[in-house]
């Protein structure tokens, strides 16, 4: 089985990454870290820049676990990419980060975390960043 982390380059993404590493070490399971977004003309703040990808890959390499980083920018939403991975791989748990949002913010913008909670077929662990 594999632990899947949905990563975004924000404090909640780092919290999810740290928890995923902790679980992978404890369970001695492989870790897959995924950063995904539709791409296109608009700048997507959920996509990690090149230097951030390198930092995550270096961190994973230093952990002494089997780990890989994947970034998808192929026109599909992050939710669709993660659901596809959950359905095609043997995922034991999905780790996602949560950020504090107002009720109006959730209503207007929706929530990737909420959609993942409602759609994935594996257990989901939600973590908050320190101070959130």
The top-level CATH class assigned to 2-128 is alpha beta
Contacts of 100 (CB under 8 A, 6+ apart): 128, 132
Could you tell me how many helices (H) and strands (E) the chain has, helices first? 5, 5
Q: Per-residue pLDDT tens for 83-107?
A: 999 999 999 999 999 887 666 555 5
pTM above 0.75, yes or no: yes
Does residue 81 contact residue 36 with C-beta atoms inside 8 Å?
yes
pLDDT of the chain along its 132 residues, tens only? 999 999 999 999 999 999 999 999 999 999 999 999 887 656 778 899 999 999 999 999 999 999 999 999 988 999 999 999 999 999 999 999 988 766 655 554 458 888 999 999 999 999 998 876
Beta strands in the chain (DSSP E): 2-6, 31-36, 67-72, 91-98, 124-128
């Amino acid at each position: 089985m594999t632990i899947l982390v949905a990563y975004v380059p924000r404090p909640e993404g780092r919290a999810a990454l740290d928890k995923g590493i902790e679980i992978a070490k404890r369970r001695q399971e492989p870790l897959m870290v995924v950063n995904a977004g539709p791409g296109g003309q608009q700048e997507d703040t959920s996509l990690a820049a090149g230097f951030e990808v390198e930092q995550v890959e270096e961190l994973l390499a230093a952990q002494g676990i089997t780990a890989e980083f994947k970034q998808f920018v192929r026109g599909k939403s992050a939710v669709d990419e993660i659901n596809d991975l959950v359905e095609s791989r043997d995922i034991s748990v999905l780790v996602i980060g949560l950020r504090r949002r107002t009720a109006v913010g959730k209503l207007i913008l929706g929530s990737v975390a909420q959609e993942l909670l409602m759609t994935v077929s594996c257990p989901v662990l939600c973590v908050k960043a320190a101070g959130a």
